[in-house]
Amino acid sequence: MAVRFELGRTYSAAEITAVVGGQEAQSFPVEGRRTVAVRVGRGTSPDAPARVYVGNRPREIRAARNLVSVGEPVPVFVREDPTSDFAFVGRHRAQGFDESPGAAQGATNAVGRPMAGILHLEPVG
């Protein structure tokens, strides 16, 4: 990544998209066939960045699976509430995507809307 984000600094979705590409309104922006970032809120992923709850939309599921299969680190951003910007919490690599019924149900119960599973991330350098 040529442009570096500053750890702890907040960025708008538009600012993030301008650097990494993808879609401004998506939690998992995709450029071409590659997931280029993770951008979530505490309301839908209270344990982020270590555990990111993935919604049950096919696009989100594909993007999470892509992070696991490609194995490259991506910038991760978390916002505290729906009205705030996203804080950069570092570059992370997907360790796995738990799509088991138990994980999906646990995530669904935690956030109150249907979820497909839990994406596990680890920080890198």
CB atoms within 10 A of CB 18: 12
Label residue 77 exposed, middle or buried (CB < 10 Å: 0-12, 13-18, 19+): buried
The residue-averaged pLDDT of 72-98 equals 95
Mean pLDDT, range 26-47, rounded to an integer: 93
By the 8 A CB rule, do 79 and 68 touch? Answer: no
Task: Set out the domains of the chain in order of their start, with CATH numbers.
Answer: 10-123 (2.30.280.10)
Report pLDDT digits (tens) over 7-28.
999 999 999 999 999 999 999 9
C-alpha to C-alpha distance for 3 and 60, rounded to whole angstroms: 25
In this prediction the pTM is 0.93
74 strand-pairing partners: 92
